A and B are shown apart, each in its own frame.
Chain A
Amino acid sequence: MTSSGRLAALSVVVAIGAVAAYVLLLRVAVVRNHPEGYVVAFALATALAALAVARARARRWPAWLALGLSSLLLVAGGWFNFVVAQVPVTPTALRVGERPPDFTLPDATGRPVSLEDYRGKKPVVLVFYRGYW
């Protein structure tokens, strides 16, 4: 394989590997806490592919294919992580040392659940999930 071919192959391995690694290693804290890592990997894959294109002599299509794939993932991944996934930071009613607003909500079976029910009895962990109906 030519050096261009090797670089193109490496670029594809890095790009696909980054996707696989992020998905398969989500249980590892350092992976799930740093999604920007996949954007960095896509940038590296793009750089490798650009180098492959620069060095291509006879058979150019593997290098161009690698460049197309890696730059597409870089743009899509960068857009997703730095634009779509961003949540605005605005003031909340949460203050350490204060009680948050009380509430009563139906659970999935329709039974009411209130924060008040737990006061004086048990600690509570509230989790707000991003979701929509």
Chain B
Amino acid sequence: MSELQGLGAKLSEAERAGVDRDLAVARRYGLVHAGGGPDGQDVPRPATVVLDRDGVVRWFSVSRNFQVRPDPDDVLRAVRAL
């Protein structure tokens, strides 16, 4: 946790990591993998969402295999298209 705090202190306004400790936000988004953790705990489903300035979803990707993250080029393309 202290490592995360050290990292958080270094992050600029452009990149802020929210700590969703009890997965409340992931649950509200329907992004929980029930029992998906190594000890059977609930973990988030890896997902990336691009919102425009009005807070509207313009692009999102939810992974079917946790080794595969959305391509950064795809995310950049979605952001540039806003």
Q: Please state if B29 and A92 are interface contacts (CB–CB under 8 Å).
A: yes
Q: Please state if B48 and A81 are interface contacts (CB–CB under 8 Å).
A: no
Q: Please state if A128 and B31 are interface contacts (CB–CB under 8 Å).
A: yes
Q: Please state if B82 and A123 are interface contacts (CB–CB under 8 Å).
A: yes
Per DSSP, chain A at the interface is loop
**Interface residues of A toward B: which range?**
35 or more
Q: Please state if A93 and B28 are interface contacts (CB–CB under 8 Å).
A: yes
> Which residue of chain A has its CB nearest to the CB of B79?
A123
**Interface size (B, Cβ < 8 Å)?**
57
A132 to chain B, nearest CB (A): 5
Residues of B within 8 A of A (CB): 4-5, 7-9, 11, 16-21, 24-26, 28-31, 33-34, 36-39, 41, 43-60, 62-69, 71, 73, 75, 79, 82
13 contacts between A and B (CB under 8 A): A87-B63, A87-B66, A92-B62, A94-B47, A94-B57, A96-B59, A103-B18, A108-B9, A113-B16, A119-B54, A120-B53, A125-B49, A130-B66
